[in-house]
Amino acid sequence: MPYSTKRQTINFHRLSLLVLAIFCLLFSCNKKDEGDNGDYSEQFKQFTAELNKPRHHITLEQEQAFIDSGFHAIKNPYINDIFRYYGLKFLYYKKGIDKPRIALRYADSMLMMAKKSVTRKQYVSNYAEANFAMGDAYFSLSQFSTAYQCYYQGYFMGKNNLKNEILAEYTYRMGMVMFKQAHYPEAANYFKLSFRESLSYKESFQAFYQRQELLDNVGESFKNNGNLDSAAAYFTKTLNFIDSAGAPYTGPGQTRLKDVARAVVYGNQGEIAMQKKQNTLATQLLKKSIAINLKKGNDYGNAELVEINLGRLYFSTHQYQPFLSLFKDLRNQLDTVKNEEAETTWNLLMSKYYQQTGDMNKAFAHLEQYSALKDSVNKRSSSLKETDVNQQQANYDKQYQIENLKDNNKLQLIYIYLAVTCAAMAVVIVLLVYRNWRKSKKDVKTVSELNRRINLQKSDLEITLAELESNNQEKDRILRTVAHDLRNPIGGIASLTSVLLLDDLNDEQKELLGLIKETSNNSLELINEILEVTNNGTSQLSKEPVDINSLLTRSVELLRFKAAEKDQQIKLTVLDEPEDLLISREKIWRVISNLITNAIKFSPVGGIIYVSASIKKDELRIAVKDAGIGIPADVKDKVFNMFTEAKRPGTAGEKSFGLGLSISKQIVENHDGKIWFESNAKTGTTFYISLPRQKQNKPAGKNAEKEAPVLI
């Protein structure tokens, strides 16, 4: 509906459609919140979801307070978040409470944010929208030339990028301008073109609502030009479009807006019936329109204009009593909802009414008021009609063409400078090539001599490598011999403990012998691995399902006596429910034992060592924490190196070999896991092991990560 027609008011049903359009845009975005990528932040989408919920009996001021508080609660808003917030403020001041000067400030802020865009598409879209907003504000301030320039800038930016999405907005505004200038055929053509271009929009309620409005605008253009049959056809087409295309939209706010759109069309049809002298039909249609738009929250301004038409009908058919009753009610409405066009016509008809009744004083007073309002309206409309928007558009096109030619001339001049520079550089390059060619002869001799020396060094290195290989084989032989010699006594210990376990012993003795047997077996497994590595160069990883609670408990039990030597305690926290991992029992036992041994070694006498297991999504995490001397910052990067120099004696002078953590790291990584630590000289060191869980495991309990301390 055109801005100043009898079917449109500035305060259009509390910005519902405009805000709803923004929500539809936001909810069409499904990108994850991973930094500003030109989309809206997840916080802003959640905020708009709250704003989009139906809220009845809320004022514009309350809605703005909700928008302000919701936006300011967003931490680190994205560019689009800030841009859209300024857009909402612009709509409130421009279309909500008709304060275009304040709206212009927000449009300028929109333009500022558009220039900070992080993607090309975001920049083009926001820049065009900001310019259209500025043009609307300038238009309301009657600064028409500036408004046209803003419209053209938005159109020029978007026409080669967003294409029809921008062209539809531009041609819509050009149609409005032509309508206000009373160029109704041109306005109808612009509205038709905008309708076709709007078909490129993504399907949404906002797109549907704009299309029905454009169809109604075409009908109004024909009506004002006297083509009543064409106008009636388009009004019927609008109603059919609302019923068919609007069928999917059934939300409370959407249903209300569709009723408002129908009411506007009913008012237009009533006016055509008036012009065709179909007074009964006209009365029915006008009353039907008024009844809808006088409902709370609907388009009061449009209802006032339709009431003016109904008053004209009553007056022209000499129905003075209904006329007077209607205009008294309308007077109360105009005192609440200002409408200059309705106010002007109201005074004119009241003046004519009092002339009929013979009350010339009242008739003159209303006529005087009508003249003052009419002069104000004519002054603004004459300023608008004096401008030729088509000529201005042509001038802007020529201006941009001239600027492009200037830019092309500058570009050609730059090319000339580049060509001269390249030619000069080519001459320099030729001279340098010649000089280098002469120098290369000398360099060839030098390179040949260096190559001879390198060959000699290569021969020496090959001899050295052969000697190293021999030494390495000798080292493996010695290691196999030592491992083999250790295997027999440790195997004997394991066998003896198995025999002793057959005797009649008390529980404590059996537990101690069991620990000795398990330690002996683990040591034998270590010896077997050493033999395997020295024979084959690698160690096979044999995995089996192992209950991690049982493994941790046994590891702590084996080392509690060692901790007791330093008057230390080990506190174990296991999982609430058993959890099997597909691991090598002996190798992971060795890693856990090594970490606990290190914690005992570097913890003070009387200290406490914490061992815990927890579940973190798809991994099982084991932590060994001490309150010891910590790891110095200068050696933190070296503790996992083989034969590292980051070796320190324990708190009781225990010797460190620098192998345990390196072996542990290899074992954990062979299990597709991770090992790391956190250390502080004041709070001690915590080592973490992360191992992947089996997919077929039974799910952990609801409180899988809660810890149940067990004092060992």
**Token pair 């941009």: residue:** 400
Least confident of 3-12, 449-458, 519-528, 679-688: 3-12
Strand runs labelled E in 459-585? 544-547, 569-574, 580-583
How does residue 471 score in pLDDT terms, banded at 50, 70 and 90? confident
The token pair that represents 144 in the structure block? 């028409």
Mean pLDDT, to the nearest integer, of 135-161? 76
Would you give the DSSP letter of residue 622?
E
Among 162, 223, 231, 230, which Cα is nearest to 197's?
162
How does residue 688 score in pLDDT terms, banded at 50, 70 and 90? very high
Q: Are β-strands 684-692 and 619-625 bridged in parallel, bridged antiparallel, or unpaired?
A: antiparallel
Would you give the DSSP letter of residue 31?
-
Highest mean pLDDT among 115-119, 535-539, 545-549, 626-630: 545-549
Mean pLDDT, to the nearest integer, of 154-182? 73
How far, in Å, CA of 199 to CA of 165, rounded? Answer: 9
pLDDT at 673 over 90: yes
375 burial level (CB within 10 Å; 0-12, 13-18, 19+): exposed
Among 653, 624, 648, which Cα is nearest to 565's?
653
HSE (side-chain half, CA atoms, 13 Å) at 290: 20
How does residue 54 score in pLDDT terms, banded at 50, 70 and 90? low
- Per-residue confidence (pLDDT) for residue 31, from 0 to 100: 44
Mean pLDDT, to the nearest integer, of 542-560? 90
- Per-residue confidence (pLDDT) for residue 12, from 0 to 100: 38
Using DSSP, state whether 630 is helix, strand or coil: coil
How does residue 97 score in pLDDT terms, banded at 50, 70 and 90? confident
Helix axes 507-536, 585-602, angle to 10 degrees: 110
Least confident of 186-190, 293-297, 314-318, 489-493: 489-493
Per-residue pLDDT tens over the stretch 394-448: 655 555 555 556 556 666 778 787 888 888 888 889 888 888 887 877 778 788 8
Mean pLDDT, to the nearest integer, of 137-144? 80
How far, in Å, CA of 53 to CA of 44, rounded? Answer: 15
Determine contact, residues 28/207, Cβ cutoff 8 Å: no
Highest mean pLDDT among 102-116, 385-399, 524-538, 632-646: 102-116
Would you give the DSSP letter of residue 169?
H
Predicted TM-score (pTM) of the model is: 0.48
How far, in Å, CA of 677 to CA of 636, rounded? Answer: 9
pLDDT at 463 over 90: no
First to last CA, the chain: 82
pLDDT at 697 over 60: no
What integer best gives the mean pLDDT of the chain? Answer: 79
The token pair that represents 681 in the structure block? 């000289």
What is the C-alpha R_g of the chain? 44
Determine contact, residues 393/148, Cβ cutoff 8 Å: yes
Least confident of 38-47, 213-222, 384-393, 459-468: 384-393
**Token pair 């294409």: residue:** 163
Mean pLDDT, to the nearest integer, of 263-267? 93
Question: What CATH class is the domain 544-711?
Answer: alpha beta
Mean pLDDT, to the nearest integer, of 630-645? 75
DSSP string, 261-298: HHHHHHHHHHHHHHHTT-HHHHHHHHHHHHHHHTSTTS
Query: In which element (H, E) is residue 647 found?
Result: none
Determine contact, residues 138/147, Cβ cutoff 8 Å: yes
- The C-alpha angle with vertex 393 and arms to 391 and 396, in degrees rounded to 5, equals 110
> Count of CB atoms within 10 A of residue 266's CB?
23
Q: Are β-strands 608-616 and 569-574 bridged in parallel, bridged antiparallel, or unpaired?
A: parallel
Among 467, 470, 473, 491, which Cα is nearest to 534's?
473
pLDDT at 489 over 50: yes
- Per-residue confidence (pLDDT) for residue 209, from 0 to 100: 86
Per-residue pLDDT tens over the stretch 1-33: 444 443 333 333 434 444 444 444 444 444 444
Using DSSP, state whether 482 is helix, strand or coil: helix
pLDDT at 116 over 90: no
3-state helix/strand/coil string of 55-69: CCCCCHHHHHHHHHH
Among 256, 189, 253, which Cα is nearest to 221's?
189
Residue 690's alpha-carbon distances to 462, 615, 630, 678, 702, in angstroms, are 43, 10, 21, 14, 21
Among 550, 572, 616, 581, which Cα is nearest to 708's?
572
How far, in Å, CA of 617 to CA of 415, rounded? Answer: 60
Using DSSP, state whether 119 is helix, strand or coil: coil
Cβ neighbours of residue 180 closer than 8 Å, sequence gap 6 or more:
2, 3, 4, 381, 384
pLDDT at 152 over 80: no
Per-residue pLDDT tens over the stretch 343-376: 899 989 999 988 988 889 988 998 888 888 887 7
Per-residue pLDDT tens over the stretch 614-626: 998 889 999 999 9
For the chain, the domains span 29-162, 544-711
CATH 1.10.10.10 fits 29-162, yes or no: no
How far, in Å, CA of 124 to CA of 109, rounded? Answer: 16
- The C-alpha angle with vertex 385 and arms to 379 and 386, in degrees rounded to 5, equals 90
Determine contact, residues 149/186, Cβ cutoff 8 Å: no
Using DSSP, state whether 319 is helix, strand or coil: coil
Which bin fits 678, alpha (ψ -120 to 50), beta or left (φ > 0)? beta
Among 358, 365, 360, 310, which Cα is nearest to 333's?
310
Least confident of 222-226, 429-433, 502-506: 502-506
Among 463, 692, 228, 44, which Cα is nearest to 471's?
463
How far, in Å, CA of 617 to CA of 607, rounded? Answer: 32
97 burial level (CB within 10 Å; 0-12, 13-18, 19+): middle
How far, in Å, CA of 624 to CA of 616, rounded? Answer: 16
- The C-alpha angle with vertex 270 and arms to 265 and 271, in degrees rounded to 5, equals 100
How does residue 711 score in pLDDT terms, banded at 50, 70 and 90? very low
- Per-residue confidence (pLDDT) for residue 20, from 0 to 100: 46
How far, in Å, CA of 283 to CA of 306, rounded? Answer: 11
How far, in Å, CA of 149 to CA of 567, rounded? Answer: 86
Mean pLDDT, to the nearest integer, of 190-206? 82
pLDDT at 342 over 50: yes
Mean pLDDT, to the nearest integer, of 548-558? 90
The token pair that represents 343 in the structure block? 């106010």
DSSP string, 381-444: HHHHHT--HHHHHHHHHHHHHHHHHHHHHHHHHHHHHHHHHHHHHHHHHHHHHHHHHHHHHHHH
pLDDT at 128 over 70: yes
Among 318, 216, 311, which Cα is nearest to 269's?
216
Percent of the chain at pLDDT > 70 equals 79
